[in-house]
Amino acid sequence: MDDRKNRFVERGKKGYLALQHFSRHYRWQLMAAVFVIFLIGFAYHTFAPSLPGQVTEDVLCQSGSNDNWRGWHLGNGWKQLNNLLLNDGTNGDYNGRPTLVAPARCQPKTTDYAVEATIQVVSTSRNSYSGFGLNVRGLPSPSTQTGYSTYIDSSSGANIAIAGGDAINTTSFNPGTSFHTYRAEVRGNTINFLIDGKSVLNVVDNRFISAGEVGLWCANMQIEMSSFKVVKL
């Protein structure tokens, strides 16, 4: 019994001596490793909030389930169902003006901003032109300043145009029947159209450079919109 106890004590002493030897031999390496870990932690807590991935947007207005579409005045085929705004596709007289103007609290005071909406196409008309879009930098009627429209139509796909006029730039895109996030950015004299976070079209045009009015239009197409926001750029 004593021999077993002595062997256990002897092993403990050897382990302790080995640990002492290791710590003396690698003391500076251990100190350097602790210092590096400290620096990494300090850098993360100091600089992480300013990393690009964590930058928060300056949201001027946001509507949807958060406010139950407070302040939106519906007409021209627009309706509300629970947390969605719907268009029933009956409005076929699109003339470049928004068929749904955003509330006053959503109208930007700055010239550089983004308008973003999450929209699903339910059905399109097969007998006539059909589409929907986001209008930016427009002025209310009777002004002739119609502004820009980033839009989707059933024939050409994604477009940037003078609202009610010819497309300035276009590219193919099929929205299918899934929800997509459409975003129109105006910065200086540049208009950028993004779909699901990816830029699909970009143009430079000098005609409309004031803040203007923002809204949406829909013609001969049934759609559902789950969210809408305006962001200062």
In three-state secondary structure terms, 222 is strand
Question: Percent of the chain having pLDDT more than 90?
Answer: 65
Q: Is pTM beyond 0.85 here?
A: no
pLDDT at position 148? 97
Residues 6+ apart with CB under 8 A from 79: 85, 86, 87, 88
Q: How confident is the model at residue 13 (pLDDT cuts 50, 70, 90)?
A: low
| CA dist., res. 99 & res. 95, Å (int) | 9
> Tokens 């005045």 belong to which residue?
73
**Type of residue numbered 202:** N
Average pLDDT for 46-61: 68
Check whether 51 has a pLDDT greater than 50: no
CATH topology of domain 57-232: Jelly Rolls (2.60.120)
For residue 143, CA distances in Å to 25, 147, 212 come to 83, 10, 11
Domain boundaries, the chain: 2-52, 57-232
The identity of residue 51, as a single letter, is L
Contact in structure between 114 and 190 (CB atoms under 8 Å):
no
